[in-house]
Amino acid sequence: MPITLNENLPAYRILSKEGVMVMSPGRAATQDIRPLRIGLLNLMPKKIQTENQFARVIGATPLQIDFQLIRMSDHESRNTAADHMESFYRSFREVEATGEKFDGLVITGAPIEHLDFDQVTYWDELARVFEWTRTHVHSTFGVCWGGMAMAWHFHGLPKHILDRKAFGCFSHQNLDPASHYLRGFSDEVMVPVSRWTEVRQEDVDARPALTTLLSSPEVGPCLLADAERRGLYVFNHFEYDNTTLKDEYDRDIEAGKPVDVPLNYFPENDPSRLPPNRWRSHAHLLYGNWINEIYQTTVYDMSRIGEE
């Protein structure tokens, strides 16, 4: 089954070329199927790149997905054309006003790790988003800073500033092979990491509502499950393309910033060589398992989401 995307969205063309099944809203409306409604609250500066990455992994399941793009209401994107935002995004304020509900919501990261949560200009609205998910979203997936922000809001889980950026590809251990979210996962998983902050296992252990599913001895917890809220918090980047870390490295070098070569990423640690993708299969497994878990547990009548 396909993912439903506006046929003018760049991801529609890109994913079609990659062999991902995509469908226009008009075509989807002719099918007698109740698609899963998955929203993407995109907090990243490069909106189009992020759309493509998440549409790719979310659209690779056998289920039909109605993919909706959402932005913060009063935060203006400086890195994405205004006409793109106007054409393909709705503000959270608009979504909230309609009363519509979602089977799933992904909340992305944002390059604002150095700030305390309450110093973020749109924190009050984002906290309102988190509260809104209690009654309007069946399952929520927070990614990198978005996951840290959710875990802080719901559980007071602190983030800690690192002395050096965690940057590269790191091996993670599968701590709960029986988890529905880790079906098909190997015992060890390579995951791209790019962050200046971390959460610590001792802080997670002090919060019984949270379970660590994946963790690395080098960069700490990666994936937490919040069973009561049907929530997942991932602090690393399964969704990244082959060259995303390279692009970040090249950007920092060009800007004259002190930056280490991402670990375990370039062949023989040589930035002139193209890096291989060693995480793609687990990225599809993770998001496919999340989508399947939603499908198995959500209600057919979407008006009842939040009542389960």
Whether 222 is catalytic: no
**What's the CA gap between 255 and 169, in Å, rounded?**
23
pLDDT score of 63: 86
Whether 100 is catalytic: no
CB 71 within 8 A of CB 41: yes
Whether 96 is catalytic: no
Query: Of 136, 172, 237, 282, which is the active-site residue?
Result: 237
pLDDT band at 264 (very low <50, low <70, confident <90, very high): very high
**Structure confidence by residue, pLDDT tens digits, 154-199:** 999 999 999 999 999 999 999 999 999 999 999 999 999 999 999 9
Give the contacts of 249 (CB within 8 A, at least 6 positions apart). Answer: 167, 259, 261, 262, 271
User: For the whole model, what pTM was predicted?
Assistant: 0.90
Given a cut of 80, whether residue 4 has pLDDT beyond it is: no
In degrees, rounded to 5, the angle at the alpha carbon of residue 140 between the alpha carbons of residues 228 and 203 is 60
* Least confident span in 36-40, 104-108, 191-195, 301-305: 301-305
The 8-class DSSP code of residue 15 comes to H
Task: Show me where the domains of the chain are located.
Answer: 3-159+200-240+284-304
Q: Is 70 helix (H, G, I), strand (E, B) or coil?
A: strand
269: left (phi over 0), alpha (psi -120 to 50) or beta: left
**Structure confidence by residue, pLDDT tens digits, 73-99:** 987 777 788 899 999 999 999 999 999
pLDDT score of 278: 97
User: What's the mean pLDDT in 95-105?
Assistant: 97
Query: Of 136, 144, 172, 293, which is the active-site residue?
Result: 144
pLDDT band at 200 (very low <50, low <70, confident <90, very high): very high
**Structure confidence by residue, pLDDT tens digits, 219-247:** 999 999 999 999 999 999 999 999 999 99
**Structure confidence by residue, pLDDT tens digits, 40-65:** 999 999 999 999 999 999 988 888 89
pLDDT score of 10: 80
Query: Of 239, 248, 282, 293, which is the active-site residue?
Result: 239
Give the contacts of 307 (CB within 8 A, at least 6 positions apart). Answer: 299
Fold type of domain 3-159+200-240+284-304 = Rossmann fold (3.40.50)
CB atoms within 10 A of CB 245: 23
Give the contacts of 214 (CB within 8 A, at least 6 positions apart). Answer: 172, 173, 174, 175, 182, 189, 191, 221, 222, 223
**Structure confidence by residue, pLDDT tens digits, 274-302:** 999 999 999 999 999 999 999 999 998 88
